[in-house]
Amino acid sequence: MLRSRFRNALLVAAALVASSACAGSPPALVLAAGRVMDPESRLDGIRWVAIDSGRITAVSEEPIGGRVVVDVSGLVVSPGFINLHAHGQDTGSATLQALDGVTTALELEDGVYPVDDWYRSREGNAVINFGVSVSHLGARLAVMHGVEVRSLALNPEAVLALGPRPDGLRRAADGTEMEELVRRMRQDLAEGRPRASG
């Protein structure tokens, strides 16, 4: 039963990608007889959902025909979920999150530093939408130790190489360091913005 549902979910994902990748007027994709749940409108019912060019064009209580029809009965069709606390900002983690219905993964706890370099490294090879906050800790390590960590979750070796209790993680910044921290954080806040996958 679980394998069958997993296979159906993969078929839906493949059909969505195929419908949005076609040039011109792509063939219609219909998700048939799924339990459609939309928190914004409070919709919770069996519906047929038509998709053209990657956009929902109709939601109906009655069956809709289409060039590609995927029977999603017994499955939930809903807007993509947004994960606000996603440390795994790599392709493997994003793929697993997509299978759970996550369409946007944001690293808002530890963040990343420097932001713009990290965003450029993800663009064009991301499975889902992504975004990060600016890492205060990462900026401190850059200013006080000259180390660019980027993502603490994906690059812990950079911090571990500084020893068990790096000075820059616990002591107060002096005046010059504070000015540089503020400058770097402002720059990264100006450069950072959520990005779309692909």
pLDDT digits (tens, 9 = 90+) for 66-75: 889 999 999 9
Task: Determine the structural domain holding residue 8 and report its residue range.
Answer: 2-77
Q: Taking the complete model, does pTM exceed 0.95, yes or no? A: no
Task: Specify the higher pLDDT residue, 157 or 38.
Answer: 38
Tally of structural domains, the chain: 2
The gap between the terminal CA atoms of the chain, to the nearest Å, is 32
pLDDT in tens, 129-160: 888 888 888 888 889 888 887 776 667 777 77
Residues 99 and 140 in one domain: yes
Q: Does residue 54 fall inside a structural domain?
A: yes
Residues 130 and 85 in one domain: yes
Q: How far apart are CA 91 and CA 128, in angstroms?
A: 9
Residues 156 and 169 in one domain: yes
Residues 45 and 130 in one domain: no
Residues 93 and 185 in one domain: yes
**Which pair of structure tokens corresponds to residue 60?**
């109906």
Residues 73 and 144 in one domain: no
Backbone phi, psi, residue 106, to 5°: -120, 135
Average pLDDT value for the chain: 80
Q: Which residues pair with 102 in a beta bridge?
A: 81
Specify the DSSP class assigned to residue 86. -
Residues 151 and 95 in one domain: yes
Would you say residue 56 has pLDDT above 70? yes
Q: How far apart are CA 56 and CA 195, in angstroms?
A: 21
* Per-residue confidence band for 126, with pLDDT thresholds at 50, 70 and 90: confident
Which of 77, 100, 127 lies at the terminal end of a domain, its last residue? 77
Would you say residue 8 has pLDDT above 80? no
Q: What is the pLDDT of residue 149?
A: 78
Residues 178 and 85 in one domain: yes
Residue whose C-alpha is closest to residue 123's, from 54, 49, 52, 192: 192
Q: What is the pLDDT of residue 196?
A: 64
Letter for the amino acid at 56?
I
Residues 43 and 120 in one domain: no
Which of 77, 106, 132 lies at the terminal end of a domain, its last residue? 77
The CATH code of the domain that includes 66 is: 2.30.40.10
Residues 15 and 43 in one domain: yes
Residues 53 and 116 in one domain: no
Task: Specify the higher pLDDT residue, 24 or 149.
Answer: 149
Q: Does residue 198 fall inside a structural domain?
A: no
Which of 77, 110, 128 lies at the terminal end of a domain, its last residue? 77
